[in-house]
């Protein structure tokens, strides 16, 4: 595992002794850094997805976290908060009444953010096309 961090990753109060200690630990496979740097490093390679289940497709989406499909083994992780998510999966019909709520949640997601529409209803309206 290699993580590129700056010498002042822990803040401006990191003194010379701590930098030397960090160099000694890196040779042994350890790392001294800040939590923010680790979180940013993890986010570069993993998708944290958030569900926006509106109809029966949400039940199908639940199966991806169960033992048969288990998406977490591929490095993705579901998140309940939009502030921790990179990807929003919209499952079901997005009606005119629900659109402002979806937009509010979408705006809370950090950049870069992605959206997947899952199922026939999310893609084309399905039975509820004009509602």
**What is the 3-state secondary structure of the chain?**
CCCCCCCCCCCCCCCHHHHHHHHHHHHCCCCCCCHHHHHHHHHCCCCEEEEEECCCHHHHHHHHHCCCCCHHHHCCEECCCHHHCCEEEEECCCCCCCHHHHHHHHHHCCCCCEEEEECHHHHHCHHHCCC
Sequence ranges of the domains in the chain: 1-44, 47-128
Beta bridge partners of 100: none
Q: Residues 40, 3: contact at Cβ < 8 Å?
A: no
Max intra-chain CA distance, the chain: 67
In this predicted structure, the answer to whether residue 114 has a pLDDT above a threshold of 80 is: yes
What pTM was computed for the model? 0.61
In this predicted structure, the answer to whether residue 10 has a pLDDT above a threshold of 60 is: no
Round to whole Å and give the CA distance between 46 and 56: 27
16-62, pLDDT tens digit by residue? 666 777 777 777 777 777 777 777 776 676 788 888 888 787 888 88
Does the domain made of 47-128 have the CATH classification 2.60.220.10? no
Beta bridge partners of 77: 48
């Amino acid at each position: 595992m290699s993580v590129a961090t700056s010498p002042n990753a822990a803040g401006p109060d990191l003194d010379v002794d701590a930098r030397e200690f960090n160099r000694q630990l890196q040779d042994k496979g350890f790392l001294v850094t800040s939590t923010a740097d680790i979180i940013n490093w993890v986010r570069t390679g993993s998708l944290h997805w958030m569900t926006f289940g509106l109809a029966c497709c949400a039940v199908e989406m639940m199966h991806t976290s169960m033992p048969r499909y288990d998406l977490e083994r591929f490095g993705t992780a579901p998140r309940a908060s939009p502030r921790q998510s990179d990807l929003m999966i919209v499952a079901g019909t997005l009606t005119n009444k629900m659109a402002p709520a979806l937009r509010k949640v979408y705006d809370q997601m950090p950049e870069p953010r992605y959206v997947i529409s899952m199922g026939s209803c999310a893609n084309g309206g399905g039975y509820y096309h004009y509602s």
